[in-house]
Amino acid sequence: MKQLQYVVALICLLGLSACNQFLDKKQDIKMVVPQSIEDATHLLNDYGTMNMGYPIWGELGVDDYYNSKVVWESATEDQRNTYLWRDRPYTDVTQWQRPYKAVYYANQTMDILSKVDADQDRANFNRNLGSAYFFRAFVFQLLTEVHCPAYQASAASSELGIPLRLSPGVDDGSTRATLEQTYDQILKDFKEAVRYLPVNESVRGRPSKAAAYGGLARTYLNMGDFTNAYRYADSCLRLAPELMDYNTLKATDEYPVKRFNVEVLLPISSVSAGLMSGTNAMVDRDLYSSYAADDMRKVVFFRPSLNQVGDFFFKGGYGENAFELFMGITNSEIYLVKAETATRIGKIPEALLALNTLRKSRWKKEVVYPIITETDPERLLKTVLEERRKELVFRGRRWADLKRLNLDDRFKKTLNRQLDGEQYVLPAGDLRYAFRLSETLVSIGGIPQNKR
Q: List Cα–Cα distances, 195 to 92, 174, 228, 334, in angstroms.
A: 37, 28, 17, 20
What pLDDT score was predicted for residue 25?
38
What pLDDT score was predicted for residue 169?
84
Q: What would you report as the CA-atom Rg of the chain, rounded to the nearest whole angstrom?
A: 22
Fold of 37-445: 1.25.40
- Tell me, rounded to whole angstroms, the distance of Cα 168 from its chain centroid: 23
Find the Cα–Cα–Cα–Cα dihedral 271, 140, 218, 47, rounded to 10°: -50
Tens digits of pLDDT across the chain (452 residues)? 334 333 334 444 444 333 333 333 333 434 456 889 999 999 999 999 999 999 999 999 999 999 999 999 999 999 999 999 999 999 999 999 999 999 999 999 999 999 999 999 999 999 999 999 999 999 999 999 999 999 999 999 999 999 999 999 876 778 999 999 999 999 999 999 999 999 999 999 999 999 999 999 999 999 999 999 999 999 999 999 999 999 999 999 999 999 999 999 999 999 999 999 999 999 999 999 999 999 999 999 999 999 889 999 999 999 999 999 999 999 999 999 999 999 999 999 999 999 999 999 999 999 999 999 999 999 999 999 999 999 999 999 999 999 999 999 999 999 999 999 999 999 999 999 999 999 999 999 899 999 99
CA distance 51 to 98: 10
Q: Contact 437/444 with Cβ under 8 angstroms?
A: no
What pLDDT score was predicted for residue 3?
40
What's the pTM value of the predicted model, to 2 decimals? 0.92
DSSP 8-state symbol, 106:
H
DSSP 8-state symbol, 287:
H
